[in-house]
C-alpha cells in the first residue's frame, strides 16, 4: 500500500503468501442512506402546558418572591426538568445531523477530522445523549411527584420506594431495559476506553482514513483483497448507526408520550388546588 506521495505502507493485499492467508470475502453491508427519523421533542400536550404556565417566572424577581407561592414554585420546578428533558431529546437530532450529513464531505484532507474519527465522535454523542434521556425522565418524575430526592438518588428503585405508581415505574423500567447493550457500551466506552467497530475490516479503515486525512489519499487492498474504498466504508459505518438510531429513537418517543400522559394528570391534580388558593393575582385556568 502506498499513499499518494509515494510513502511505502504495509498492505494485506501484497504477495502470494498474503493471498493465501486471506479470509473469505464477506458480503458488503448496505451503503445507501436510510430515511432519517427526526425526533419531536415538545409536541405533547403536557410539555406545552408546562411551557405555557412557566411564563409566571417573568412576574417575579428574585426567585425567593416566586417561591412564596406554592403554585408558582411547583410550576417553576417542573418546568426546569421538562426543559432539560426536551433539550436532551432535541439534542438527539444533532446526532441525526452527524449520521445524515448534507452535503456529504468529500475532501477529508482539509477536514478537521478523518472519516473514521467522524464515526467515533458520532457514536460518542449518540451514546451519551441517548442513555442520559432516561436519567432526565427520572428527574422529571421526582419533580412532578415532589419526592425531594437528590439528583444522584433518582433511581427507579428509589422512585418506587417513594411511592411512584407502578404504571409510571413500568414505563421507566421499559426505557431502561430498551437501552440494554447501548448503556453497557456507553459505560465501557467512557469509563474503560472500549471502542466499537464500524466495518468488517475496521483496522484497515481506521488506518487508511487517517492516512487520507494527513496525506490526501491511499491505494491498495483491504484484508479481504478488495480495492480500498474509503467512501463506501464511511457510508457503511454511517448506515449501521442510522439503523440503530432510527430503531431506538422511534421507540423512545412512544415511551415518552406514554410517560407524559401519566404525568399530565398527576401534575393537574397537584397544581389545580394551588392555583385556586393563590393570592398573587396571576390565576391561570386549565385550558
The residue ranges of every structural domain in the chain are 41-276
pLDDT of 156 reads: 97
> Residue 59: how many CB atoms within 10 A of its CB?
13
pLDDT of 20 reads: 52
Residue 69 in contact with residue 278, Cβ under 8 Å? yes
Q: Looking at beta carbons, which pairs linking 11-15 to residues 24 or more positions away fall under 8 Å?
A: 11/220, 11/221, 12/204, 12/221, 12/222, 12/223, 12/224, 12/225, 13/220, 13/221, 13/222, 13/223, 13/225
Exposure string for 99-134, b = 16+ CB within 10 A, e = fewer: bbeeeeeeebeeeeebbbbbbbebbebbbebbbebb
Output the DSSP codes for 79-124: HHHHHHHHHHHHHHHHHHHHHS-SSPP---SSSSS-HHHHHHHHHH
Per-residue pLDDT of the chain (287 residues; tens, 9 = 90+): 444 444 444 444 444 444 456 678 777 778 889 999 999 999 999 999 999 998 887 777 777 777 778 888 899 999 999 999 999 999 999 999 999 999 888 888 888 999 999 999 999 999 999 999 999 999 999 999 999 999 999 999 999 999 999 999 999 999 999 998 999 999 999 999 999 999 888 999 999 999 999 988 788 888 888 898 899 999 999 999 999 999 999 999 999 999 999 999 999 999 998 877 655 555 554 44
Q: Grid coordinates in use for 62? A: 428574585
Amino acid at each position: 500500500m502506498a499513499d499518494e506521495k509515494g510513502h511505502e505502507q504495509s498492505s494485506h493485499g501484497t504477495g502470494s503468501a498474503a493471498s493465501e492467508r486471506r479470509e473469505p470475502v464477506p458480503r458488503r453491508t448496505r451503503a445507501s442512506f436510510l430515511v432519517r427519523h427526526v425526533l419531536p421533542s415538545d409536541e405533547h400536550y403536557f410539555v406545552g402546558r408546562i411551557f405555557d404556565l412557566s411564563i409566571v417566572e417573568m412576574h417575579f424577581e428574585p426567585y425567593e418572591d416566586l417561591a412564596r407561592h406554592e403554585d408558582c414554585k411547583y410550576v417553576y420546578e417542573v418546568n426546569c426538568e421538562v426543559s432539560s428533558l426536551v433539550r436532551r431529546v432535541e439534542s438527539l437530532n444533532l446526532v441525526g445531523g452527524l449520521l445524515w450529513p448534507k452535503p456529504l464531505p468529500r475532501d477529508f484532507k482539509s477536514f478537521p477530522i478523518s472519516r473514521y474519527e467522524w464515526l467515533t465522535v458520532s457514536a460518542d454523542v449518540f451514546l451519551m445523549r441517548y442513555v442520559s434521556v432516561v436519567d432526565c425522565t427520572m428527574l422529571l418524575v421526582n419533580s412532578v411527584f415532589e419526592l425531594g430526592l437528590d439528583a444522584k438518588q433518582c433511581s427507579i428503585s428509589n422512585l418506587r420506594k417513594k411511592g411512584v405508581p407502578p404504571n409510571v415505574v413500568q414505563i421507566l423500567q421499559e426505557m431502561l431495559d430498551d437501552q440494554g447493550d447501548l448503556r453497557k457500551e456507553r459505560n465501557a466506552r467512557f469509563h474503560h476506553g472500549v471502542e466499537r467497530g464500524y466495518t468488517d475490516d475496521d483496522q484497515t479503515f481506521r488506518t487508511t482514513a487517517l492516512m487520507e486525512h494527513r496525506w490526501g489519499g491511499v491505494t491498495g487492498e483491504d484484508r479481504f483483497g478488495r480495492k480500498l474504498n474509503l467512501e463506501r466504508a464511511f457510508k457503511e459505518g454511517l448506515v449501521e448507526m442510522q439503523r440503530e438510531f432510527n430503531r431506538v429513537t422511534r421507540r423512545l418517543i412512544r415511551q415518552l408520550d406514554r410517560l407524559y400522559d401519566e404525568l399530565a394528570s398527576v401534575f393537574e391534580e397537584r397544581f389545580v388546588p394551588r392555583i385556586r388558593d393563590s393570592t398573587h393575582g396571576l390565576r391561570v385556568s386549565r385550558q
